[in-house]
Structure 1
């Protein structure tokens, strides 16, 4: 496994150096650090967005879910269609507002749109809270990838520490510009790794994909239907696809990345071409089904897979050359670090800009905010690493917890871009009601109707409250409405 480990960490060193160099000759400022000076062109924005979106979940979670549960994983393909169609309409408007009104975070927009400094603070706090599980997912994924690809030669805890020291270095030094250029490299190896592995797995074990479906149909037919082997049915798939599709661009790090594009045209082009990258999820899903078929006919193989998220890499290490394990491991590590670096930077931005400056120190200079945000980078990384070590969970489950929370921003964001009738009180109470619904179903045992996902139920409650309360509470000022209308026109 020396070869695999050398490839993985060689790639990590290369990307870290590139990330540091990217910010070396750039003037340090809040806009440069948090939104890359709003200078990303079509190609750099494309690779940045792709690497931010397709994370450790794409490498391990997709395969683990399809291996252990089955057909309910199709929600991942459905929600990407919803997400990119939505982005074509909202992405250019978000970029325009950010450029013309000098926003550097998602709460900047919500605070300004709804005339409430404390709403901005609250949204920032919620954004950080639900970003942490997503960051935890990336950290766990990085550790799993290196441990499994090395055949157990390196423990996942050591792998996590090494990997995230590297991430902290280039995020701390270069901010979003460093993330953008490392993501350029990460996206390339992720693309080849994700596509390539989907071909080699079924051919190695069964001579092609046709045999995979024949075996599963014979020994585990529920794996290929809904409800699937875990009992998840069409209502669950529909509701999860819906909240993930609508919540896709509500993630604070992806929302903020939209400010980095140098023009609306860049954003609109990427709304059209980014869906092509989502096709790389299909080969990973095929790998999961292949592992399920192999485990169904080979008990010895099944015994080697102790956790579903480990299925792909364990099969890879035990049945393929170390060089391939090294390249796939490097791709998976790239996916993890590319997303986690954006999460770390954005959470630091939310705390420094929207909680501390906007909430408690409005006279703090922007330069000091940028320096404070940079100081938060290692602190938040250490917190997420500790959570990954002491509070692990299945990768897809962690991701869906985060989605349930950030999707509750959807009414505030989208209504703010296209409507005038909603009120500040309606938005605040709707957000609180949606979050309370998610917490009640997810953590307090309240049953969800028809097996719908808690995030979807929360979003419905959120919208109902926004509509009801907005009909009986004071409207936003004419001055604010006219300012946003003129900015967006």
Structure 2
């Protein structure tokens, strides 16, 4: 696949995406609510497509395909567990939305600080999110670097791809905030699902039809159809990977923040339904890609290069390969955009505004915009390390973010939860996850995600029971949510 063709396609994509982003700029984006959560007015279709593009990024068609190449069909089970975890949105989504509408929350951390009546809860959860989300954004940059490097046979270097992605993410973020990201996401999602599905059909046909595809995988890698297969997906490894992924929809703030954005609960239902359909198709697509690469390029040293090798192979017409490449790149940029916006809103709303009290909304917005390039540079530097498999790195980041889950559950379902419980559980569990990841990823044979959720849960409950809960706020908050959830159910 020629570098000239790829650069031409990238330029065309950038022009179209920028035009869409500019069109999305309706009114002046001079408030935190407008810039970071789109005035809470995203319709169901845009919400679904944006949620899909943000979630299914470089992790899927690069990372999950590479994980399938490495570990076989266990990767499918791993991702299906994630898709099952999205059902948590049906439970928490309406509650996030109702709370955000009632109290004006912009970030999940702000919600924790208000619900538990302590600014420290907001600050601590925001800092933890910053620590673990920057590596996750770097994963997206890594995916784009590998993709462009692979499809051009090194004509476009890894570093060039990472720099390009960083610049584009900054451009789309600054044009109109989350609104421009959401609208460009819609374009990207439609293109991704159509082109990647066509590629699957071509790959299966290239390998002799569905039965030929199955037979080829069995012949070249018979262990791929079983779990643990070649040993990659041992039970505790599988559990350690899937637990952080199951809670992804409420633990990752760039995702849970989107629960504040739909225009109505009806729009949220459409968002969830659209995402589930998109996710199932995309999971099957990614796994088939990984299996196909294991047949066609069995000696591949870096599994994350499986997708680039497929797209540049003779089985895929160059034009189609370029379109899919652009779709993957665009999705990864979408995730980076969302993370940049989320982290900058966390910093300005939950750290800066709490440290420097009395800060007006416009000043918070200005600070948020100022820190966006700083976050982008940190992600770029992290991406240059090229540490591990994209899928594994993604889960490691989510393992750190999972420590906030007990506090979120307590927000809506436990009156006795306290700010001390929130801060203690997040701080100690975060440090434990960092220690485990820094010393090999295992403690007593268990991955950091398992330790994170268990230790965080025990600390949250234990410390909360030994400290005084904010009864007035808890009663007010939970009564409001409960009464409106009953109305939703009756309607």
TM normalised by structure 2 equals 0.92
**Which residue among 335, 338, 343 is the counterpart of 2:339?**
343
Pairing 1:86–2:66 present = no
State the match for 1:95 in structure 2.
97
* Distance across 2 between alignment mates of 1:21 and 1:238: 44
- Residues 6 and 326 of structure 1 are in contact (CA less than 8 Å); yes or no, is this contact kept in structure 2? no
Per-residue Cα deviation, 1:315-355 (whole angstroms, up to 9, x for no partner): 32132332122111111111111111101111111111111
* Distance across 2 between alignment mates of 1:390 and 1:440: 19
State the match for 1:377 in structure 2.
372
State the match for 2:154 in structure 1.
152
Any unmatched runs of 5+ in structure 1? 297-301
The secondary structure found in structure 2 opposite 1:363 is coil
Alignment of 1:384-403 (within 5 A): 384-403=379-398
Pairing 1:439–2:441 present = no
Deviation of the 1:28 alpha carbon: 2.0
Pairing 1:482–2:475 present = yes
State the match for 2:466 in structure 1.
472
* Distance across 2 between alignment mates of 1:105 and 1:13: 31
Pairing 1:116–2:118 present = yes
Deviation of the 1:257 alpha carbon: 1.4
State the match for 2:489 in structure 1.
none
Pairing 1:130–2:132 present = yes
* Distance across 1 between alignment mates of 2:456 and 2:27: 46
- Residues 36 and 178 of structure 2 are in contact (CA less than 8 Å); yes or no, is this contact kept in structure 1? yes
Pairing 1:354–2:350 present = yes
Deviation of the 1:230 alpha carbon: 4.3
- Bigger drift between 133-142 and 74-83 goes to 74-83
- Bigger drift between 57-66 and 257-266 goes to 257-266
State the match for 1:407 in structure 2.
402
* Distance across 2 between alignment mates of 1:109 and 1:318: 49
Q: In 2 relative to 1, CA 267–49 (structure 1 residues): closer, same or farther, beyond 3 Å?
A: same
Alignment of 1:116-265 (within 5 A): 116-204=118-206, 206-265=207-266
Deviation of the 1:373 alpha carbon: 0.7
Deviation of the 1:446 alpha carbon: 8.0
* Distance across 1 between alignment mates of 2:296 and 2:148: 23
Deviation of the 1:237 alpha carbon: 2.0
Any unmatched runs of 5+ in structure 2? 484-491
Q: In 2 relative to 1, CA 144–233 (structure 1 residues): closer, same or farther, beyond 3 Å?
A: same
The secondary structure found in structure 2 opposite 1:232 is coil
* Distance across 1 between alignment mates of 2:446 and 2:196: 30
Q: In 2 relative to 1, CA 412–226 (structure 1 residues): closer, same or farther, beyond 3 Å?
A: same
Deviation of the 1:458 alpha carbon: 1.9
- Bigger drift between 463-472 and 319-328 goes to 463-472
* Distance across 2 between alignment mates of 1:129 and 1:446: 17
Alignment of 1:289-328 (within 5 A): 289-296=291-298, 302=299, 305-319=300-314, 320-328=316-324
State the match for 1:425 in structure 2.
420
Pairing 1:268–2:273 present = no
TM normalised by structure 1 equals 0.92
Per-residue Cα deviation, 1:160-189 (whole angstroms, up to 9, x for no partner): 223332221221121011111111111111
* Distance across 2 between alignment mates of 1:228 and 1:59: 21
